[in-house]
Chain A
Amino acid sequence: MNAIVSTHNLSKRYGDAYRVNEVNLEVHEGEVYGFLGPNGAGKSTTLKMLLGLVKPSSGKVVVFGKEFDKNRLSILRQTGSLIESPSYYGHLTGLENMRIMQRLHDVPDKNVCEALKIVRLENHKDKKAGLYSLGMKQRLGIAMALIAFPKLLILDEPTNGLDPAGIGEIRELIKSLPQRYGITVLLSSHLLSEIEQIATSVGIISDGKLLFQGSMEALQSKSQPRIAIKTVDNETAHVLLYRQGFHSVIEDDALIVKEMNDEQTAFANRMLVQAGIDVIRIEERRKSLERIFLELTGKEKSL
């Protein structure tokens, strides 16, 4: 698979503080890449550096295999973007806003119609953009980003301000873009559930550092099942298990053992019962993605 976007030790420093710290992003063709991180983690700054809106302090950006600094215009020609909140001219209608983008990208009329249809704004296209609801502005922003049907689409928090129905709709739209139009999507969000439902690959950033990058499955495999054993006497059980080579921790009045197969579980149960400790419950517990995310970003402490 070709890397559509790659960054090499990309950093942005403001004064002494690193907003983005040596990030090596890699987005492959045909992916929906979810860029996940808490508020203020450096997502927007990174995306802005990919578009040349912010100049990196060090490191470089390579898009479509070309270095950004030397190929700005040819890269931008094949890139659509929506950064922070949608841009629009309030005194013009939705259609007129689209026409401005049409001029700048030099694309035919049918692109304008198609893009408006995709975001279902064609019935509101003659209304002033300033009078649009937030959700409609967001749709217009996506339509403007799509106008040239670019190879790469960069969306910063695309579902911000949309109602649940709108979120679902935009989600389905984004998921369909790689197959329908061959568009690679790079989107950011601070919501794990959002990324989980859209993305095929994930990058997790916190405090400017990329903490995880890989496929969605790779992230999910981090949530290995653990066995929780609840007994009448957890302290003694803990010691007994330890003697048998099982390392357990006591968590919420249960003993948690990592990596235990079926036979080991059966053995541990028999051993405890024979030692006179009643086993109340044995269950499999999975760490939620949410938990993994919080552990990775270290944000659970502040919650």
Chain B
Amino acid sequence: MLIKSLAAEWLKMRKSYIWSILAALPAVSILIGTANYYANKSVLTNGWYSLWTQVSLFYGEFFLPVLIAICCAYLCRLEHFNKNWYQVMTAPVSRSAIFISKLAIAGIMMLIVQAFFLLLYFCAGKVLGLASPFPIETVGWMSRGLYASIAISAVQLALSIRIRSFAVPIGISICAAFIGLGMYVMKLGMFYPYSLLTIGIGALSQESLTIAENGLFLAMNSLFIVIVSAIAIRYLSKRDVVA
């Protein structure tokens, strides 16, 4: 059943303008970050790591949360338009399959975005002529970033299913990302999905997490994914469908 709705979701997304936005935002983050790095070359002396501080700051704190919100809003906008909720909700698939397939599509998109960002980072470093070897930690940052992105996707999907507007959930994500910065500074980052992204991606601190911290990181993200999905699926099951 999940495969059926996943296949259907994939068909909806395949030919869509969303992919150009998915490509554009990481590119913008890299451009701004690289320009910043280049302008402050005298103080940023740690090669690849210094470049990461610049590019991941814009990416993890602003562009990625916005991108996740756009993806999720788009996934729901498809259904809010042209009474498609009626079609979706009368298809012979369970409501959980509907939500989980959307979350899975968001996850696949995030995977592609992360991979693309990493590729761009590599290219930027090469263009700048960084001599030191490519830092292998980036793969860990990207994987953790991906997992945190899925937790945020669950939240954003739930919001976008509830809110018909395209822009409002995106606005909420921007606010949430800034609040996340505050939570991170107050050392409460582990308990808030948008700060988990900051931690996971190594945007503000490139020190590696301890095993315990890694465990907590995984557990908290999993917890958010499960709880928010359960709430969203319950909402889909209980409410009257308005399309």
A residues with CB within 8 A of B: 48, 51-55, 73, 76-77, 79, 81, 83-92, 96, 99-101, 103-106, 144
Quick one: which of B7, B84, B86, B89 has the most chain A CB within 10 A? B86
A-B contact count (CB 8 A): 79
B83: chain A residues at CB < 8 Å are 83-87
> Is B227 in contact with chain A by the CB < 8 A criterion?
no
Whether B241 lies near A88 (C-beta < 8 A) is: no
Known: A52-B89, A87-B82. A92 touches B4 (CB 8 A): no
In the complex, the answer to whether B11 meets A96 with C-beta atoms within 8 Å is yes
Interface string of B51-94 (1 = CB under 8 A from A): 00000000000000000000000000010011110110111111
Closest to A102 in B: B8
Which chain B positions have C-beta within 8 A of A76?
90-92
Report whether A96 and B15 are in contact in the complex, using a CB–CB cutoff of 8 Å.
yes
Task: Known A-B contacts: A84-B86, A87-B243. Give 11 more (CB < 8 A).
Answer: A48-B240, A52-B89, A53-B86, A54-B240, A76-B90, A83-B83, A86-B83, A87-B84, A87-B86, A104-B8, A104-B91
Give CA–CA (A51, B240) in the complex, Å. Answer: 11
| Nearest chain A residue, comparing its CB with the CB of B83 | A87
Given contacts A104-B5, A104-B91, contact A55 B240 (CB under 8 A): yes
B126 within 8 Å of A by Cβ?
A: no
Query: Is there contact, CB below 8 Å, between A91 and B11?
Result: no
Q: B41 near A: Cβ within 8 Å? A: no
In the assembled complex, which residues on chain A have CB atoms less than 8 Å from the CB atom of B240? 48, 53-55
Q: How far is the CA of A197 from the CA of B17 in the complex (A)?
A: 45
Indicate the member of B4, B12, B240 with the most A CB atoms within 10 Å: B240
Minimal beta-carbon separation of A104 from chain B (angstroms): 4
Interfacial chain B residues near A96, Cβ < 8 Å:
11, 15
What B residues does A51 contact at CB under 8 A? 89-90
Q: Are the CB atoms of B4 and A104 closer together than 8 Å?
A: yes
Nearest CB of A to B13, in Å: 10
The distance from the CB of A33 to the nearest CB of chain B, in whole angstroms, is 18
Task: State in angstroms the CA–CA spacing of A92 and B15 once bound together.
Answer: 7
Q: Does B16 contact A (CB under 8 A)?
A: yes
> Among A55, A73, A89, A100, which residue has its beta carbon within 8 angstroms of that of B82?
A89
Cβ contact within 8 Å between A87 and B4: no
- Please determine whether A99 and B11 come into contact, CB atoms closer than 8 angstroms: yes
- 7 residue pairs of the A-B complex, CB under 8 angstroms, read A53-B86, A55-B240, A83-B86, A87-B87, A88-B84, A103-B4, A104-B92
Q: Identify which of B11, B86, B92, B243 contacts A100 (C-beta below 8 A).
A: B11
Given contacts A96-B11, A106-B4, contact A90 B89 (CB under 8 A): no
Which chain A residues lie closer than 8 Å to B187 at the CB level? none
Chain B residues whose C-beta falls within 8 Å of the C-beta of A48 in the assembled complex: 240-241
Chain B, Cβ-Cβ closest to A55: B240
How far in angstroms is the closest Cβ of chain A from B199? 37
Chain B residues near A99: list those with CB within 8 A: 11
Which residues of chain B have a CB within 8 Å of any CB of chain A?
4-5, 7-8, 11-12, 15-17, 78, 81-84, 86-87, 89-94, 238, 240-241, 243
| Complex contacts, A89 vs chain B, CB 8 Å | 12, 78, 82, 84
Taking a contact as CB atoms under 8 Å apart, the answer to whether B7 and A103 are in contact is: yes
Are B92 and A105 interface neighbours, CB within 8 A?
yes
* Bound form: Cα–Cα A9–B171 in Å: 45
Chain A contacts for B5, CB-based, 8 A: 103-104
Give chain A residues whose Cβ lies under 8 Å from the Cβ of B87: 87, 101, 144
Closest-CB distance, A237 to chain B (whole angstroms): 59
Q: How far is the CA of A79 from the CA of B93 in the complex (A)?
A: 13
Nearest-Cβ distance from residue B85 to partner chain A, whole angstroms:
8
Are B91 and A105 in contact, CB atoms less than 8 angstroms apart? Answer: yes
Q: Which of A81, A100, A144 has the most chain B CB within a 10 Å cutoff?
A: A100
Report the minimum CB–CB distance from A187 to chain B (whole Å).
16
Alpha-carbon separation in the docked complex, A81 to B11 (Å): 21
Q: Which residues of B contact A92 (CB under 8 A)?
A: 11-12, 15
Q: How far is the CA of A31 from the CA of B148 in the complex (A)?
A: 54
Check A91–B92 contact: CB distance below 8 A.
no
Chain B residue at minimum C-beta to C-beta distance from A81? B90
Q: Which residue of B lies closest to A12 (CB)?
A: B240
Say whether, besides A53-B89, A104-B93, A91 and B7 are in contact (CB < 8 Å).
no
Identify the 5 closest CB pairs spanning chains A and B, nearest first: A87-B87, A77-B92, A104-B91, A53-B241, A103-B7
CA distance A87 to B93 in the complex (A): 17
Q: How far is the CB of A92 from chain B (nearest CB, A)?
A: 6
CB proximity of B153 to chain A, nearest CB, Å: 21
B-chain residues with CB within 8 Å of residue A90 when the two chains form the complex: 81-82
* Chain A residues with CB below 8 A from B11, complex form: 92, 96, 99-100, 103
Nearest CB of chain B from residue A51's CB, rounded to whole Å: 5
**Residue numbers in B under 8 Å from A85 (CB-CB):** 82-83
CA A232 to CA B5, docked complex, whole Å: 76
Q: How far is the CB of B143 from the nearest CB of chain A, in Å?
A: 30
A91 to B11, alpha carbons, bound, how many Å? 11
